[in-house]
Amino acid sequence: MDPVWTARLVSSRSHIHPGGFHVTELFFEVPLNYARPGDGTIRLFARSISRPEKTIPGLSKPADEPIKPYLVYLEGGPGFGGPEPRSHPVSNRALDAGYTVLYVDYRGTGMSNPIHTDLVLKQGDVNQQVEYLKLFRANSIVRDLEAIRLCLTESWKPEYQTWSIFGQSFGGFVCLSYLSKYPQGLREVFMTGGLAPVERQPLEVYSALYRKVIQRNEAYYSKYPEDEANVARIASYLTTNEADILLPGGGTFTVHRLLGLGMAFGGHGGLDTVHNLVVKLISDLDQFNYFTTPTLMALEREVPFDSNPVYAILHESIYCSRGVASNWAALNAARKFENFFFWTQSDHSQLSLPVDGMVRFYFSGEMVFPQFFDTYPTLRPLKPAAEALARYSQWEEDLYDEEQLRRNEVPVYAVSYIDDMYVDIGAARETAALVKGIKVHETNQLHHNAIRAKGDEVLGMLFKLRDDTLD
């Protein structure tokens, strides 16, 4: 383990928002590569939100106002920065419980040295691009978090210097890496839909996830049976149109892009979101026999690879340990389910459909295919780097320390979703069995995005795990 660094606070600006919230915008400086700190630094961004003790107007605050320890919210992804604090369900509940909440943009996201096409290309050749991109995985993220913790709490009393972390989805993966590498910095850990498949290889991960994706497709077509013909008609139009269908942002509308919309199927309201877009597409064909700009703009907004390229280019690497290459695991796993996902095995230009059009098209889930790097304009120049990353196996360290997790002493509380389309429940149970002392609430009444869709319910489950007892 390389030395623990303390981040340098570059700037701190606080503002009072309606409702009495104090929001502080923080920029830090940390090494780009902790193993080689001389290679330069990057900036990290975070926002804290607090609710100071009320005082009578005209009176100053007491000098000994109590410290409110940090709860750090870790967003899903990979590739997404922290949410806006005032609108997130965690904020009010955590503030009421006595925390200051910190929302961090992971390195490479948000305002923390955001990865974008030009930045990657300027690193040099493909090998140099890979060397750069591999510095943005969870092992580096947890070093950033620990460096920020040391910076923010170094003047506090020791009992206040540890902090709590809350990981949603990929944020839970980060929690497990943090527990593996810097447990001494943690007071407690909360996770929702984030029990990572610690003991599984990438191909195993996707093979399990496809089974749930198939179930969600069945639910979709059961709810909207007319869309079986509608989706087939759209796919036929895309494959028989003489010219590429260009999107307003510069991408192309292909069958792969259409069926990639199934990424939404695993969340509350996801089936309806996809159906509403299918209705728009069919309405355009009925009225104009082409797709209108507003409809194509709505399509572009649904899958955020252009605005969040890390989500695509580093996605499969979150399942890779030392000596393991992802090798386009989602694409290879789809071959086991070729009757459902036959379209994944061809490029758009080579895709042939049955003459009578009688085929049910199954949408994919949270899978990244090499064909996506042909249709999203931000991803096109990064395809060589993506191909090289898919072959890459020389990771310097594992993301998790299973022995450390087995001897864990930090309290861990997790809500796990039985019907989760993004984190297989079987793998989640294996990981829960690995982490010493974890308390888990399993439910089949909530989907993966429940922290947003039904936040009060989820947070009630988590805090009950912490505060209640079992005789």
Catalytically annotated residues: 169, 420, 448
Residue 171 sits at φ, ψ, to 5 deg, of: -60, -30
Mean pLDDT of all residues in 59-80: 82
Beta-carbon count within 10 A of 288 CB:
10
In a domain, 3, yes or no: no
Is 2 among the domain residues? no
Does 73 fall in a domain? Answer: yes
Q: 322-343, pLDDT tens digit by residue?
A: 999 999 999 999 999 989 999 9
Output the pTM of the full model: 0.95
Confirm if 55 and 61 have CB atoms less than 8 A apart.
yes
**Domain count across the chain:** 2
Hey, which residues does 74 pair with through a beta bridge?
167
- Percent composition of the chain: helix, strand, coil (DSSP 3-state, to 5): 45, 15, 40
> Is residue 1 situated within a structural domain?
no
Q: Specify whether 379 is located in the same domain as 405.
A: no
Question: Would the pLDDT of 356 be above 60?
Answer: no
Mean pLDDT along residues 402-430: 98
The dihedral of CA 310, 316, 318, 324: what is its sign?
negative
In the prediction, which pLDDT does 59 show? Answer: 54
Judged against a pLDDT cut of 70, whether residue 423 lies above it is answered with: yes
- Confidence check: pLDDT of 124 > 90: yes
183 and 221 share one domain: no
For residues 208 and 181, membership in a common domain is answered with no
Tokens of 245: 């269908």
Of 60-69, 229-238, 394-403, 422-431, minimum mean pLDDT range:
60-69
Confidence (pLDDT) at 41: 98
- Flag whether 162 is in a domain: yes
Contact indicator for 365, 262 with CB cutoff of 8 Å: yes
Whichever domain contains 125, its CATH number is 3.40.50.1820
Tens-place pLDDT, residues 230-247: 999 999 999 998 789 999
Question: Quick one: pLDDT at residue 349?
Answer: 73
Provide the percentage of residues in the chain whose pLDDT is more than 70. 95
Of 357, 391, 425, the residue that ends a domain is 391
pLDDT higher than threshold 60 for residue 55? no
Instruction: Report the distance separating Cα 292 and Cα 281, nearest Å.
Output: 8
Residues 227, 85 share a domain:
no
Look at residue 62 and tell me whether its pLDDT is greater than 70: no
- Rounded Cα gap, residues 137 and 315, in angstroms: 10
Q: Give the end of a domain, one of 326, 359, 391.
A: 391
**Domain containing residue 431:** 8-198+400-467
Distance CA 4, CA 151 (A): 11
Q: Which of 359, 391, 423 is the last residue of a domain?
A: 391
- The pLDDT confidence band at residue 470, using thresholds 50, 70 and 90, is low
Residues 368 and 412 in one domain: no
Confidence at residue 175, expressed as pLDDT on a 0 to 100 scale: 99
User: Is residue 232 located within the same domain as residue 351?
Assistant: yes
264 within a domain of the structure (yes/no)? yes
Q: What is the mean pLDDT of the chain?
A: 94
**Is 169 part of any domain?**
yes
Same domain, 51 and 122: yes
What is the DSSP pairing of strand 41-50 with strand 21-31? antiparallel
Shared domain check, 158 and 259:
no
Q: Quick one: 383 and 416 in the same domain?
A: no
245 and 175 inside one domain: no
Q: What is the pLDDT of residues 284-309, one digit of tens each?
A: 999 999 999 999 999 999 998 999 99
7-21, 167-181, 315-329: which range is least confident on average?
7-21
Same domain membership, residue 42 and residue 127: yes
Query: How many other CB atoms sit within 10 Å of the CB of residue 32?
Result: 17
Residue 376 inside a domain? The answer is yes
- Mapped onto helix, strand or coil, the DSSP state of residue 372 is helix
Instruction: For residues 231 and 250, state if they share a domain.
Output: yes
Distance CA 363, CA 371 (A): 15
